[in-house]
Amino acid sequence: CFHVGQKISATLSSTGSPSVTLHPSQALHGDIGILGGNDILLALSHSGESAEILEILPAVKRVGAKIVAMTGAAASALARSSDAVILIPVRREACPFNLAPTASTTAMLAVGDALAIVLLEARGFRREDFAKLHPGGAIGRTLLLRVADIMRKDKRLACVNIRAKVKDAILAMTSARAGAVGIVDASGKLAGIFTDGDLRRLITQRRGAIAHLPIRAVMTRAPITVRAQDLAVEVLKIYEEHTIDDLLVVDGQCRLVGLVDIQDLPKFKIL
């Protein structure tokens, strides 16, 4: 049952109910020190007569922790010694000899999961709380990662003044190794965007000198933008809906603060 207890304990912890496993043999030699007076010991034994579990019960009671038995025998010594009993009667194991713990351990796992979910709901545990406990998983990335965490800024942000020329925009993109440049006015507010795709189209259409063209004449005005506090996963939705490669990030005053490049998304495991 110890392995079953490990799984139940892991589920409890991952859903907002802190839990650790305590092996009865190790508990008798110091590990019972992890228990406190406000704790609950969930004791698992199908027969309810496991000697090693019964042996630690007096020590658990001296600590002041409550005992909840998960057993298949209501009249067992474990059940009689516990503050509460979760009865899981299993008539027969799946083992042909009715010896190997199979059906009983599966039933305990199911009840353990149910217990975790009941506690989850009682605590008012939310998706956001789940994400905090799973920062490395897909759910954590979906609910925790913000645009501010993935955007390019400072030297990696290509930006030119609206009075600049196309050549200035090209130099800015080259310096920042970016596929787009944000165009801002004198106050730093976003005025437009110019991308490497725009540059290729411009070369094809003009077929002449373009370096000294005013950037304001060829930029895309009122580009799609996001805020630094937006969820990073929302960026992916915008890319999919609008078939673009770069998104500019602005603050509350529409000042340019960053850029999100679709090529950066895989390393953040968003794509």
Q: What is the pLDDT of residues 43-66, one digit of tens each?
A: 999 999 999 999 999 999 999 999
Domains and CATH numbers, the chain: 2-125 (3.40.50.10490), 147-268 (3.10.580.10)
Mean pLDDT of 95-111: 95
Residues shown for the chain? 271
Q: What confidence score (pLDDT) does residue 1 get? A: 81
Percentage of the chain modeled with pLDDT above 70: 99
Give strand pairing partners of 161: 184
What DSSP assignment string belongs to 168-190? HHHHHHHHHT-SEEEEE-TTSBE
pLDDT in tens, 2-33: 999 999 999 999 999 999 999 999 999 999 99
Q: What confidence score (pLDDT) does residue 231 get? A: 87
Does residue 111 have a pLDDT over 90? Answer: yes
Q: Are 32 and 43 in contact (CB under 8 A)?
A: no
Distance, in Å, from the CA atom of 269 to the CA atom of 81, rounded to the nearest integer, reads 50
Q: What confidence score (pLDDT) does residue 234 get? A: 85
Distance, in Å, from the CA atom of 266 to the CA atom of 164, rounded to the nearest integer, reads 33
Does residue 81 have a pLDDT over 80? Answer: yes
Mean pLDDT of 107-122: 97
Q: What confidence score (pLDDT) does residue 162 get? A: 97
Of the candidates 91, 40, 94, 101, the one whose C-alpha atom is nearest the C-alpha of residue 65 is 40
pLDDT in tens, 168-218: 999 999 999 999 999 999 999 999 999 999 999 998 888 778 999 999 999
The pTM (predicted TM-score) of the whole model is 0.66
Q: What confidence score (pLDDT) does residue 267 get? A: 72
89 burial type by CB count under 10 A (0-12 exposed, 13-18 middle, 19+ buried): exposed
Q: What confidence score (pLDDT) does residue 271 get? A: 56
Q: What confidence score (pLDDT) does residue 144 get? A: 81
